[in-house]
Chain A
């Protein structure tokens, strides 16, 4: 009797314990965000000097060399460390940076840059035209693992230089200590946008004339890396470059990026003030904080710079039939699809996101119309009767997607939407690496998700890699629909040569009309991030190209770290053990 009672009371205590644990866990996940941490001097708009700005990511960076970029997170750190001849401002416009000004020749083939004088690298040396040329050659030489090298193929002499037939790059010439001219083999509207990206940015003389794996990154940007500043896999801290050429900037002592921080940890760190900017949200958290009036003044969307859709392989049945592709493109209810992640997605009807140059709101684009989709199915030869649910495409179409991504969720909605016009999907999920390899292989994948982020903020950055027949390859094809239309090719090429903005927009607009109609993709959504910052972070504005530009950010925190509550934290234990943090 005793033991039964004992066991039942033990059981009760366990149940109670589990209940409590669950309640705590649920409470921990579902409570609303605590109040923001206010600014120490809310009435003052005078920038204050000092402090460390901390942000975090679930991912990691693998290199800090501008000649070897391969991940999306690193660009904001490169932006903090390396200044370029030109840069993007907060409106996405190209503005002078290391260059004081520039002139473009009449034929559009050469651009002459005059540098600012007296600009210092992190090591104290002056930035000269020689450094510009050396850095360009270092980044484009075949010994550098630069994934963007061919983007600069329009520079005169590129082929000879990259095939090691020439020691120097003909198209970059030094015309004095502060003057450097870039010559192109033909006018290229993409050249300036590309130059404003990171690969060709000047690096210190320690970077040498050729790429090396063991170089300690050093540039002319507002922040510099000190020895030991990068703890791989954990965090990186860059400190103020005292010799930065813009007087008074940057305000911050340092910027710190934490890596591999999962979403819940980021939330905990952010609300306790250990992390100042939050961009990685669990989906419900994002909706919650966007609905909280205490937080909304300190949050903003980044610009949409990514487009996503379903790529239909035009070389494989049934997608070699344009009517079939039109049926798919018209059957997708993007407003419904968007709700899979309402905080981040906007419906997409054209290939170019709204805030990218070349987006044209007057374009008809793709649209959702079930009756019309059924009509397209009929014309494709697969009539479907939604009442009797007969007809349609006879066999399930293989659909390849990747695990642990957004599409794993979205495809469940896609399947239901396509079922309404008699298309069934056979969804196959592989890991991301395998997905990338298979998707780019000729006649391998009939149907699957495809997405593209701008390389530079211009329509050509989307249209050329995704829909030009030149981007078709037997392996690693970026044109995953293997779409080929001579008229579209011609328009894209013409757009790239056209230096006049309005004419270029018109040309790209015409190309987009054709692409939307012939539907190598059914466009689904644009993805945009939301950034939330604490009120004590001032002059933080999400950057349209770099995500974050910490140059002008300043902090106004109450003295002493808010997070110093941890009695057993490093600091407290350090006192106990007597070593200094």
Chain B
């Protein structure tokens, strides 16, 4: 298992490196000027040139890349507060530093910005995944076990609606209904206290959840119908197990495999940022950060967001792999 994990980690590092390099090249190839975006649309060429130099953008792409990679992971003093040189670093473990540089726009270390945003995004991602699974699997199981009844049709119909309606429609509708009309939940934002955070996460999580749940409903339903027709289900029923027990304990467990795959990828993507939902609900997460960074050509922040997203997807894929083993004895045996 350890050897397998090590192999996966090496592969993961390569994937992240390749993504970052690609993103670096692409963001530099665009016909735009980060210094102009810092200085403003009306700044004079001389002022732009001074800012460009100050940001190190007057160097060649190769030099910039080499400098970025050189700083990215390096060894330094165990205390980043010492000296100016490591002011933009975050410590991974002990003297191992992660340095993503300084945002051109905000002029703060990218690691600080990410540290502010990432927890908020993870909260939303997990809450949304929870809603997705709860609604999706619940409706899917119900639909499959009541195949071709009103319940089934309603679940399938609702999921069609969920898939068809984009998040900005669902989000605006929820906002209008729950926050504006009924006034039971905050309209947007993040809140100042723990309880306000909880209240604030409900609507964005529901929005993402309802949209995502639609896929799960269909997937679980089809998967479950397949499973419920299997011999082992009939055997279990013949053994005298109750219908509910068979559905939940046996069929659902087998149907979970594809769900876990999708969920893993979903969580990874959600961490990368639910861009539309974050902007509707003014959720201060990675999605809104990366959009702003992209529009402003804020290179270091773009790189930071790319790295976080790449790592999130890679980690969740590895997690899915190991979840397979936990769920399915056959996969375990193969190893």
- Decide yes or no: A213 and B107 within 8 Å by CB, A10-B153, A148-B47, A434-B31 being known contacts: yes
Beta-carbon contact of A28 and B184 below 8 Å:
no
- Decide yes or no: A436 and B36 within 8 Å by CB, A25-B172, A62-B105, A147-B43 being known contacts: yes
Beta-carbon contact of B177 and A437 below 8 Å:
no
Q: How does the 8 Å CB contact mask read for B270-289 relative to A, with 1 for contact and 0 for none?
A: 00000000011010100011
Beta-carbon contact of A581 and B196 below 8 Å:
yes
CB distance from A158 to the nearest CB of B (A): 12
CB distance from B283 to the nearest CB of A (A): 9
Which of A151, A233, A577 counts the most B-chain CB atoms under 10 A from its CB? Answer: A233
Interface size class of A (residues with CB under 8 A): 35 or more
| A85-93, A473-481, A484-492, A521-529 - the one binding chain B | A473-481
Beta-carbon contact of A434 and B42 below 8 Å:
no
| A42-50, A263-271, A352-360 - the one binding chain B | A263-271
CB distance from B94 to the nearest CB of A (A): 25
Whole-angstrom CA separation of A471 from B46 in the bound complex: 10
CB distance from A439 to the nearest CB of B (A): 10
| B226-234, B291-299, B308-316, B319-327 - the one binding chain A | B291-299
Beta-carbon contact of B31 and A25 below 8 Å:
no
Q: Which residues of A contact B30 (CB under 8 A)?
A: 433-434
Beta-carbon contact of A570 and B46 below 8 Å:
no
A321 at the interface (CB under 8 A from B): no
Beta-carbon contact of B33 and A437 below 8 Å:
yes
Which of B44, B172, B297 counts the most A-chain CB atoms under 10 A from its CB? Answer: B44
Interface size class of B (residues with CB under 8 A): 35 or more
Whole-angstrom CA separation of A440 from B31 in the bound complex: 12
Q: Which residues of A contact B42 (CB under 8 A)?
A: 452-453, 455, 465, 478
Beta-carbon contact of A146 and B176 below 8 Å:
no
Q: Which residues of B contact A262 (CB under 8 A)?
A: 279-280, 282
A157 at the interface (CB under 8 A from B): no
B307 at the interface (CB under 8 A from A): no
Beta-carbon contact of B105 and A570 below 8 Å:
no
CB distance from A430 to the nearest CB of B (A): 8
CB distance from B324 to the nearest CB of A (A): 36
Nearest-CB residue, chain B, relative to A453? B42
Q: Which residues of B contact A265 (CB under 8 A)?
A: 175, 187-188, 280, 282
CB distance from B36 to the nearest CB of A (A): 6
Beta-carbon contact of A437 and B39 below 8 Å:
no
Nearest-CB residue, chain A, relative to B44? A150
B96 at the interface (CB under 8 A from A): no
Which of A147, A261, A452 counts the most B-chain CB atoms under 10 A from its CB? Answer: A147
Q: How does the 8 Å CB contact mask read for B176-209 relative to A, with 1 for contact and 0 for none?
A: 1101110111111111111110111010000000
Residues of B within 8 A of A (CB): 30-33, 36-51, 54, 102, 105-108, 113, 116-117, 148-150, 153-154, 157-158, 161, 169, 172-173, 175-177, 179-181, 183-196, 198-200, 202, 279-280, 282, 284, 288-289, 292, 295-297
The 4 closest A-B pairs by CB, nearest first: A570-B196, A573-B195, A433-B32, A147-B39
**Sample of 22 A–B contacts (CB below 8 Å):** A6-B153, A7-B153, A10-B150, A25-B172, A28-B181, A63-B106, A71-B40, A147-B43, A233-B289, A261-B188, A262-B279, A264-B175, A433-B37, A437-B31, A437-B36, A440-B36, A452-B42, A476-B43, A478-B42, A566-B184, A569-B184, A570-B195
